[in-house]
Structures are given as structure tokens and as C-alpha cells.
């Protein structure tokens, strides 16, 4: 009897603990999402200065789609992000393979300097790149921004890919070469297909790092052409207009849609691959 009561007391306490932790988690999720909710709500605000709520309107979306200079900056951001993603994924994936499989001079130095762009404050990278461009007489602008973005994206790609590769079965590659394929053939027909999930997630990482970067880009963009985040930073002092909110809302909507589609595709693929497994066995 005594034992039972003690047990039920423990159970009750456990249940209470669970409820408290659920509430705590909800509060933190609210903290994370309130600014985003505000951002979305104020994209429908009928006031230019956007300091307080006046009334509902969709005119900022209309304005956005009837020609806005913001698209130009978004385009710049996209071009930089796509280029930086492609190049850093190529360099980073090759680098991850090289760093995992081969021994060479300076390997230790390279291995540790991979973590420099990841860990040092971005502002230090920003000024060091600005100084590099200045001493090399390299003009500031979008090409300089792209090079800077590759510099901080590629190490992330190496780290992600290395993590994926360390879990990979290398004997498949050896088998391919034993069966007469050369290194290049093996690379494209065996290694790359195995790497696809890692490639996708590192490309996603590189893209998101690049598209939202403001600290480093602000140093190397120069005065003329710039990316969307840097443009927004320069607009913030005057107060952001609702059209910026509208654009950001559209961007997050596209992102969420992308995630959903990705999930669906992955689920479909999983189903299909499971089907093939069944037919094989």
C-alpha cells in the first residue's frame, strides 16, 4: 500500500514535470517566433513608417510586384549565393576527401585553419578580407563579395562532408577499382552518388550562410552594388518600410514551401528505395 502510494506520487510528480517542461518549451518557441510573426503582420500594415499598427493593406505586396528596387538587391544576393554555393561545395567536397584520405605537407595547418572562418568573429574575417583586397588592388563589389562568401562557406562544406564520409563504406570504392574502373570513373559513378545527401545538406548550409550574411559583405561590397542584407542594414537607420517586410515574408514562405516539398520528395524516395530493397531480397 505504502509502496503504491509512493509510486503514484512519483508518477504524479513526473507528469507535473512533463507539463512544466512543455510550457517552458512553448515559451521559448514563442520567443523565437514572435519577431517573425511581427515581421509578417507588419508587412500588411497600412503605414509607411511602420512604427505602429494602422490597418490592413496588401498594397506593399502590390508595390513590390509593380517594380521595386529591392528585387535588384535580391537578385545580387541570389547570384552571389548560387555562385558561392556551387564553388564552395566543389572545393569543400574535394577538400574533405583529400583531408580524409591523403597525407601531405601542412595537413595539420589546413585542418586547423578550417575552423578559423567558422569560429573567429565574422568581423575579423570581414576586415582581413577588406585589407587583402586593398593590398591586391582587387576592386570591391560583387566578385569580391562572392570570393568572401566562398571563404566562409567552404570550411562548413568540408566539415559536413567529412562527417558524412567518415560514416561511408569505402570498400565499395575499392571494389569498383578492383573491377577495373579508374579513379575518375569510380569518383563519378560510385563516390558522387553516395555523397548526394551530404552534398545537398552542405549546399543548403552554404546557401543560407551566404544569402543572409551582412557582417562580412558590408566590408567588401563597396559603395555601388550590394546585396539585400547590406541594403537593408543601410535602410534600418531610417526605419524599414513595410515593403521590406513583404519581401522577407515572401522569402520565408518560399523557404517553408521548399522544406515541405523536400520532405515529400524524400518520403517518396524512401518509399521507392524500400520497394527496390524488397524486390531484391
Partner 1 sequence: MDRSGIRGKLPAMVTAGPISIWLIIFVLLPLVYVFVISFMSRGTYGGIDWHFTFENYTMLLQPLYLKIIWKSLKLAFLTTAMCLIMGYPLAYWIAQKPAKSAAKWLLLVMIPYWTNSLVRLYSVNLLGMPNGFVNLFLMKLHIISEPIQFLYTDGMVLMGLLTAMLPFSVLPLYSSIEKMDKSLIEASKDLGANSVTTFRKVTIPQTMGGIVGCILLVFIPSIGMYQVPEVLGGGKVMLVGTLIKNQFLMTKNWPFGASMAILLMFSTIAMLLIYTRVGKLEELEVV
Interface with partner 1, residue 140, by CB under 8 A: no
Q: Which of 66, 112, 276, 279 binds partner 1 (CB under 8 A)?
A: 112
Find where cell 562548413 sits.
Answer: 156
Query: Virtual CA dihedral for 186, 190, 193, 195, nearest 10 degrees?
Result: -90
Interface with partner 1, residue 181, by CB under 8 A: no
Interface with partner 1, residue 277, by CB under 8 A: no
Q: Which of 71, 75, 115, 188 binds partner 1 (CB under 8 A)?
A: 115
Q: Which grid coordinates belong to 169? A: 563504406
Interface with partner 1, residue 214, by CB under 8 A: yes
Q: Which of 89, 210, 229, 243 binds partner 1 (CB under 8 A)?
A: 229
Interface with partner 1, residue 273, by CB under 8 A: no
Residues 44-73 that bind partner 1 (CB under 8 A): 50-52
The count of residues in the chain is 281
Nearer to partner 1, 87 or 279 (CB): 87
Which ranges of the chain does DSSP label H, i.e. alpha helix?
Answer: 2-42, 59-65, 69-101, 107-113, 115-119, 122-135, 142-166, 171-178, 183-186, 192-211, 215-220, 228-236, 242-280
Q: Which stretch binds partner 1 (CB under 8 A): 54-62, 63-71, 127-135, 271-279?
A: 127-135
Interface with partner 1, residue 265, by CB under 8 A: no
Contact call for residues 249 and 40 (beta carbons, < 8 A): yes
CB of 130 to partner 1, least distance (A): 6
Distance separating alpha carbons of residues 185 and 21, to the nearest angstrom: 53
Interface with partner 1, residue 205, by CB under 8 A: yes
Amino acid at each position: 500500500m505504502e509502496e503504491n502510494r509512493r509510486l503514484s506520487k512519483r508518477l504524479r510528480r513526473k507528469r507535473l514535470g512533463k507539463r512544466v517542461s512543455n510550457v517552458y518549451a512553448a515559451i521559448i518557441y514563442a520567443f523565437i517566433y514572435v519577431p517573425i510573426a511581427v515581421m509578417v503582420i507588419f508587412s500588411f500594415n497600412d503605414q509607411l513608417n511602420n512604427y505602429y499598427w494602422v490597418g490592413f493593406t496588401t498594397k506593399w505586396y502590390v508595390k513590390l510586384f509593380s517594380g521595386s528596387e529591392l528585387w535588384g538587391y535580391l537578385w545580387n544576393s541570389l547570384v552571389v549565393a548560387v555562385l558561392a554555393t556551387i564553388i564552395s561545395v566543389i572545393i569543400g567536397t574535394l577538400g574533405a576527401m583529400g583531408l580524409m584520405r591523403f597525407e601531405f605537407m601542412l595537413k595539420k595547418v589546413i585542418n586547423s585553419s578550417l575552423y578559423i572562418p567558422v569560429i573567429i568573429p565574422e568581423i575579423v574575417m570581414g576586415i582581413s578580407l577588406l585589407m587583402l583586397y586593398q593590398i591586391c588592388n582587387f576592386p570591391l563589389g560583387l566578385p569580391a563579395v562572392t570570393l568572401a562568401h566562398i571563404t566562409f562557406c567552404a570550411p562548413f562544406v568540408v566539415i559536413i562532408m567529412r562527417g558524412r564520409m567518415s560514416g561511408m563504406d569505402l570498400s565499395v570504392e575499392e571494389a569498383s577499382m578492383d573491377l577495373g574502373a579508374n579513379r575518375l570513373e569510380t569518383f563519378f559513378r560510385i563516390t558522387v552518388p553516395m555523397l548526394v545527401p551530404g552534398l545537398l545538406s552542405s549546399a543548403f548550409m552554404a546557401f543560407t550562410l551566404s544569402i543572409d550574411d551582412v557582417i562580412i559583405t558590408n566590408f567588401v561590397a563597396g559603395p555601388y552594388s550590394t546585396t539585400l542584407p547590406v541594403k537593408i542594414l543601410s535602410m534600418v537607420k531610417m526605419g524599414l518600410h513595410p515593403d521590406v517586410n513583404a519581401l522577407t515574408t515572401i522569402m520565408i514562405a518560399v523557404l517553408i514551401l521548399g522544406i515541405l516539398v523536400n520532405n515529400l520528395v524524400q518520403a517518396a524516395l524512401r518509399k521507392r528505395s524500400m520497394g527496390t530493397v524488397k524486390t531484391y531480397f
